[in-house]
Amino acid sequence: MTELARSAPRGAQPERTALSWQRTSLTTAAGAAIIARHTTGEIGPPALLIMVATLGLAGAAFAMGRRRYAAEPESTRRRDGRAPFVLAVAIAGMAATELLTLAVH
């Protein structure tokens, strides 16, 4: 182990990772709101429906990231891939909204 690794404060990495998940989730929610705002006039209610679903998925990823890194010791954390999958589905929904808008326009 290097000197730098030994001097790093314990617990800083999980906190940074949790904050990263929170920022990514909030950015996904903001992106969904912006896309819905600009496409609602073109495709109507489907844009709002996709935005609501995306906001729900972003909220779920936010909660999963927060819960995973809150108080659990590192040895008990599972890397099951649920949060990345949820965010990937949310982003795919945003992309589908844009593709639908292009197809209609």
Q: Could you report the per-residue pLDDT of 90-105, keeping only the tens digit for each?
A: 999 899 888 988 898 7
Q: Does a structural domain hold residue 81? A: yes
Residue-wise pLDDT for 74-91, tens only, equals 655 566 788 889 889 999
Q: Does a structural domain hold residue 74? A: yes
Residue-wise pLDDT for 5-63, tens only, equals 556 556 677 778 888 888 999 999 999 999 888 888 888 888 888 889 999 999 998 88
Q: Does a structural domain hold residue 87? A: yes
Q: Does a structural domain hold residue 64? A: yes
Q: Does a structural domain hold residue 20? A: no
Q: Domain range holding 104?
A: 33-105
Q: Does a structural domain hold residue 60? A: yes
pLDDT of residue 78: 65
Q: Does a structural domain hold residue 26? A: no
Q: Does a structural domain hold residue 8? A: no
Number of domains in the chain: 1
Spatial CA neighbour of 59 closest among 87, 95, 80: 87
CB atoms under 10 Å from CB of 27, counted, come to 12
